[in-house]
């Protein structure tokens, strides 16, 4: 009986020892593991920051958009040159408002320039348009030819009215087809004119005759 008890006690102690050997042992932390873990944490943080700052390879590999094409400036179309276009240049004779005597004949000369592309020939005429004709013709043909860019003097003969006053007549240029030619720098861009002033006659003062004195003859006694 006592031997049985000793065996049982031995078996119990053996089992208790074996059970103690199988229990988990407390983990002893390696000092180097602490530094390794801290280094891994710093490396992870640096990697995260680099990802936030540095664009991803996908963004770098994206093909940039081509710059938008710059369209050339639109050219402004130049106006089509006119076949018939004149320009008033100057009054060569009889400036506007010049005084002429009643019934006096005078010659008015205008200077025009051909700004068009067509040549003026004798088929072009200056015509009376409006105002006071003052004894002038209603139409008068140009003499000779006037090429583009050239000037011409046009003269018309008039006769001043008999009554005093200011008189003005408007004239225009007409091509062989009967179309009126625009006049740049002219009156309303269409015409040129002649203007004269006839003064009122000046009254002549009447002279009173002075009676002559004839001395009486001296009688000698």
- What does the pLDDT look like over 44-60, one tens digit per residue? 555 545 554 455 544 44
What pLDDT is recorded for position 84?
97
Decide if 56 is inside a domain.
no
DSSP state of 84: S
Judged against a pLDDT cut of 80, whether residue 215 lies above it is answered with no
Decide if 12 is inside a domain.
no
- Highest mean pLDDT range out of 25-34, 104-113, 196-205? 104-113
Show the tokens assigned to 154: 């046009």
Decide if 213 is inside a domain.
no
Per-residue pLDDT reduced to its tens digit, 122-169: 999 999 999 999 999 999 999 999 999 999 999 999 999 999 999 999
**What global pTM score does this model have?**
0.58
Decide if 3 is inside a domain.
no
Decide if 205 is inside a domain.
no
Show the tokens assigned to 142: 């140009």
Decide if 37 is inside a domain.
no
Number of domains in the chain: 1
How far is it, in rounded angstroms, from Cα 1 to Cα 44?
69
What is the average pLDDT value for the chain, to the nearest integer?
79
DSSP state of 55: P
What pLDDT is recorded for position 60?
47
Q: Are 208 and 201 in contact, with CB atoms under 8 Å apart?
A: no
**Other Cβ atoms within 10 Å of 67 Cβ, number:** 6
CATH, residue 113: 2.60.40.10
What pLDDT is recorded for position 65?
58
Decide if 31 is inside a domain.
no
Kindly state the percentage of the chain with pLDDT values over 90. Answer: 53
∠185-187-192 over CA atoms, to 5°? 90
φ/ψ of 123, rounded to 5, equals -75, -15
Top-confidence residue, 5 or 201: 201
Top-confidence residue, 195 or 66: 195
Domain carrying residue 127: 86-198
Lowest mean pLDDT among 9-13, 45-49, 121-125, 182-186: 45-49
Decide if 11 is inside a domain.
no
What pLDDT is recorded for position 203?
72
Give residue 144's region: left, alpha or beta (phi > 0; psi -120 to 50). Answer: left
């Amino acid at each position: 009986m006592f031997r049985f008890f000793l065996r049982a006690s031995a078996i119990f102690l053996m089992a208790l020892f074996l059970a103690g050997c199988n229990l988990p042992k407390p983990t002893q932390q390696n000092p180097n593991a602490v530094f390794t873990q801290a280094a891994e944490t710093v490396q992870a943080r640096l990697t995260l920051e680099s990802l936030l700052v540095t664009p991803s390879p996908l963004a770098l590999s994206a093909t940039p958009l081509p710059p938008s094409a710059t369209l050339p400036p639109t050219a402004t179309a130049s106006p089509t040159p006119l076949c018939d276009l004149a320009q008033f240049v100057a009054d060569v004779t009889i400036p506007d408002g010049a005084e002429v005597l009643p019934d006096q004949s005078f010659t008015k000369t205008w200077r025009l320039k051909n700004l068009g592309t067509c040549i003026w020939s004798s088929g072009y005429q200056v015509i009376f348009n409006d105002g006071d004709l003052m004894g002038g013709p209603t139409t008068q043909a140009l003499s000779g030819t006037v090429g583009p860019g050239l000037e011409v003097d046009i003269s018309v003969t008039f006769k001043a009215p008999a009554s005093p006053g200011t008189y003005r007549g408007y004239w225009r240029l007409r091509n062989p087809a009967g179309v009126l030619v625009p006049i740049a720098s002219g009156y309303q861009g269409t015409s040129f004119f002649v203007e004269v002033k006839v003064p009122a006659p000046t009254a002549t003062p009447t002279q009173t005759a002075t009676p002559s004195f004839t001395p009486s003859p001296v009688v000698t006694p």
